[in-house]
Structure 1
Amino acid sequence: MTNVTTPAAGRHHSSDPPGPAWPPEPVSPQQRCWADLRQQVVFRSKRLNVGHMIEADQRFGQRDALGPHGVALFFVCDAPAEPHGYRLHTAYRLWLASPEADDLPGLLGDLTEVTADNIARGTAAGRRWHPLGPDGSMVNGGDLSLPAGAVYVGVGVSTLDSDQGRWQQVGRSLRDVPAGGRQRSAFDLKGQCYALLTDGTALHVDRDPHARLGADGVRCTRSLDPDRISYHNPHEQLTEQGDHPTRQVWRQLARLHRVLTAHLRAERRP
């Protein structure tokens, strides 16, 4: 590992300054590294959500139709040639459409229970379970193998539900030909992403393909700009904001994140 403290090093317990300070405190390499990682997670989450949307649209109404929700796992490994000394890897899980797959909090809750069972079963058999397998894999896409030493840094959600409506309703509307109007495509639809990282970051992405220039739709409990870490952040309590269904998503995602963190990073705690 390089001398720079990156997410791959596992020393993730520092926190951003609590409020504005003048003169501003120097930004550490670790803070810049985590800010960069948050930006990369935003980019990967958006890309996953777009791919999820396109694939779900292509398979809409078919026997192998996709459900509206997916889960992503984020890992980093040492990469000295990269600007911050690490490389991000993303694996994900998508589900076939079913009544159970429509309920995001329930889906996350079930996945948490399955994950805990896999961990316990592996421990009882003297094996260390990993979410990418080979036994009990919880992913079916993305980076399905990792370099040696890769470290878990977070979990996320891709959902096709948005303020435009639930996916089944919106996806069906793409098949309607408007009278005298332009028919929409999947590229016109919004999507959402949630993520929790091991440094305490929570972030939400409202992906809007028609957003005005400069509106990225990102809300994050910690700064994505390493030079603004001491500025007031209106999203510090992000996981407690929003309506009840949104808070339920955060709570169930946090349960899954705690189980994965406790298992995958236990040996890295000081």
Structure 2
Amino acid sequence: MPVEARRWADLRKQVAYRSKRLNTGHMVEADQRFGQRDALGPHGVMLFFVSDAPAEPHGYQLHTAYRLWLASPESDDLPRLLADLAEVAAENAARSASAGRRWHPLGPDGSMVNGGDMSQPAGATYVGVGVTTLDSEQGRWHQVARTLREGLATGRHLSAFDLKGQCYALLTDGTALHVDRDPHARLGVDGIRCNKTLAPERITYYNPHEHLTEQGDDNTREVWRQLGALHHTLTAHLLAGRPA
């Protein structure tokens, strides 16, 4: 099995697990700040980079920076949020280019992030973008968060650690990942759906998620579409001139 294939399969899993962990942190922080002046919005964006790390099993280290927003009507609309971010990224890149500089989403000028690995090794390479969202099949975040405080009709109270979350990610090798973070999932059920293999040594003839970005309801497909536009903008700017 080619080294590159094993590396990408490992990276897909690392991105999925990192996204799930960030989604959990997003959920806990949003729950703690719910109803306050600094309440968090239900959606965030994650940027993924890798740097060379010869001591690691697959020779790389994953770095993740993210952006969370304060709660507002604008930050509640995920497709709109992604579309606006793609537009801002394109404007920042064009403005820097006209001034003879090269813009980077981690800053220092026009930073797109406010958390995570904002200082990375020189030469770290962009490999993808993702979304953390607190909306799930249990309901929209604001609705579910109120339930935490009011209790269920049964009289039982839930905590943030009972709630589901979701993540979406697109990587530069054409990977599309969806993570359904379910704290009550059965042992062995990781909630990861991917259009590419997570286990390159296993021969599979059929992948039900091969066309992942075309599946789901209208809103889900629109999230994929706008995330794809942001990914295209970042890839075109950050990887321009690099060998494929």
TM range (shorter): over 0.9
Give the superposition deviation at 1:230.
Answer: 4.2
**Which residue in the other structure is 1:23 paired with?**
none
Give the superposition deviation at 1:215.
Answer: 1.2
Give the superposition deviation at 1:228.
Answer: 2.2
How many residue pairs get aligned? The number is 244
Percentage of pairs with the same residue: 76
228-237 vs 71-80, greater mean Cα deviation: 228-237
Indicate the SS of the match to 1:42: helix
**Which residue in the other structure is 1:210 paired with?**
184
Indicate the SS of the match to 2:113: coil
CA contact (8 A) 1:222 1:229 kept: no
**Which residue in the other structure is 2:147 paired with?**
173
2:160 equivalent to 1:186: yes
CA offsets per residue over residues 220-247 of structure 1, 9 Å max, x none?
Answer: 0001112125431110000000000000
Question: Do the aligned partners of residues 141 and 229 (structure 1) sit closer, same or farther apart at CA in structure 2, a change above 3 Å counting?
Answer: farther
- Of 229, 237, 242, 1:263 maps to 237
**Which residue in the other structure is 2:35 paired with?**
61
5 Å matches for 1:96-245?
A: 96-178=70-152, 181-228=155-202, 230-245=204-219
Superposition TM-score, scaled by structure 2 size? 0.98
Question: Do the aligned partners of residues 83 and 185 (structure 1) sit closer, same or farther apart at CA in structure 2, a change above 3 Å counting?
Answer: same
2:50 equivalent to 1:72: no
- Of 25, 38, 63, 1:89 maps to 63
Superposition TM-score, scaled by structure 1 size? 0.88
Indicate the SS of the match to 2:185: coil
Indicate the SS of the match to 2:138: coil
Give unmatched runs, 5+ long, in structure 1: 1-26
CA offsets per residue over residues 134-169 of structure 1, 9 Å max, x none?
Answer: 000000000011101100000000000000000000
Give the superposed CA RMSD: 1.0
Work out the CA distance in 2 between the residues paired with 1:263 and 1:178: 48
Give unmatched runs, 5+ long, in structure 2: none
Indicate the SS of the match to 1:195: strand
Which has more radius of gyration? 1
Work out the CA distance in 1 between the residues paired with 2:62 and 2:94: 28
Give the superposition deviation at 1:178.
Answer: 4.2
Work out the CA distance in 1 between the residues paired with 2:151 and 2:3: 53
Indicate the SS of the match to 1:90: strand
CA offsets per residue over residues 38-89 of structure 1, 9 Å max, x none?
Answer: 0000110000000000000000000000000000000000000000110000
Give the superposition deviation at 1:216.
Answer: 1.0
CA offsets per residue over residues 162-183 of structure 1, 9 Å max, x none?
Answer: 0000000001110013466331
**Which residue in the other structure is 1:21 paired with?**
none
CA contact (8 A) 1:69 1:94 kept: yes
